[in-house]
Amino acid sequence: MQLASRFAPRSPVLRADHPLSDDQIRTVAPSIFADTPHESRSERYSYIPTAAVLTELRREGFQPFMVCQTRVRHEDRRDYTKHMLRLRHASQINGAEANEIILLNSHDGTSSYQMLAGMFRFVCHNGLVCGDTFADVRVPHKGNVTDHVIEGAYEVLHGFERVQDSRDAMRVITLDDGEAEVFARSALTLKYDESGKALPITETQILRPRRFDDNRADLWSVFNRVQENLVKGGLTGRAANGRQQRTRPVQGIDQNVRLNRALWLLADGLRQLKA
């Protein structure tokens, strides 16, 4: 399933380990605080600024920890363009991980409201995104948008119970070396899906832990090692012409979310096979 919004690489991004203030958000994504929709919108367009929705979500206990706005070619769209917020609920934050709602929107008609389920690991500052079997809510720009968004936020929040069940099940499933290698090979194919071309890095490289605590054989640890190595990059590999290179991090928000969701679905599928 495609995201409602696409974000180019190197889009302005701000993520913090504490709730973001309006002033902090505005420096990165002024479009969130647009007073009116873009002039291209008709009277049928039901306009509710993301800032108003954010106010309601805060009242319900949701706080923003990450914001992003897409780059624009035409300056007149800068204050209306697509943007993303990642919010956590007070009841969903603990010492190691936090469930997040990923909210996307625009004020120029290029995106509906969309909410996805995500997970954030504090240990490696990687934003994991869960598969679309758990929660994916879209709200068109018509009717009572604010109420629908609040309802959608809680629908995503309630879906985290299933996410946590799946994660806990992965933690008690042990993979042997062969199974971990098959998982890593499938993950490489998800990122480097170019028919006939050699993979630039190996299964061994993306299975290698970056910290001691991740050096375990359970499915959850294997999944996190593979996910972090693919998303963060920095691994030494070979280009198609044979030259040595380092893999690039996945910087595009859209590409990051798509790869994360695919990896989650891959891990969750293996969990079901091993159950």
φ/ψ of 148, rounded to 5, equals -65, -40
CA 104 to chain centre: 11
CA dihedral 123, 126, 130, 135 (to 10 degrees): 100
Extract the tokens encoding 152: 């959608």
Condensed to tens digits (0 to 9), the pLDDT of residues 250-273 reads 876 667 778 888 898 899 999 999
Q: Is the per-residue pLDDT at 143 higher than 70?
A: no
| Continuous segment of H or E residues that includes residue 261 | helix 253-274
Q: Which residues pair with 120 in a beta bridge?
A: 98, 127
Q: pLDDT per residue over 167-195, tens digit each?
A: 899 999 999 999 999 999 999 998 887 65
Confidence of residue 1 (pLDDT cuts 50, 70, 90): very low
Interhelix angle 50-59/145-171, nearest 10 degrees: 60
What are the CA-CA distances from residue 155 to residues 57, 172, 175, 192 (Å)? 13, 27, 33, 33
Q: How far is it, in rounded angstroms, from Cα 267 to Cα 186?
A: 10
* CB 192 within 8 Å of CB 236: no
pTM: 0.70
Above pLDDT 90, what percent of the chain?
Answer: 25
Residue 6 has pLDDT above 60, yes or no: no
Q: What are phi and psi of 79, to 5 degrees?
A: -85, 10
More confident residue, 225 or 84: 225
What pLDDT does 44 receive? 58
Determine phi and psi for 271, rounding to 5 degrees. Answer: -55, -45
What would the pLDDT profile of 34-86 be if each residue is shown by its tens digit?
776 655 555 655 666 778 878 888 888 889 988 888 776 655 556 667 788 88
How many whole angstroms separate alpha carbon 53 and alpha carbon 38? 18
Task: Tell me what the pLDDT averaged over the chain comes to.
Answer: 79
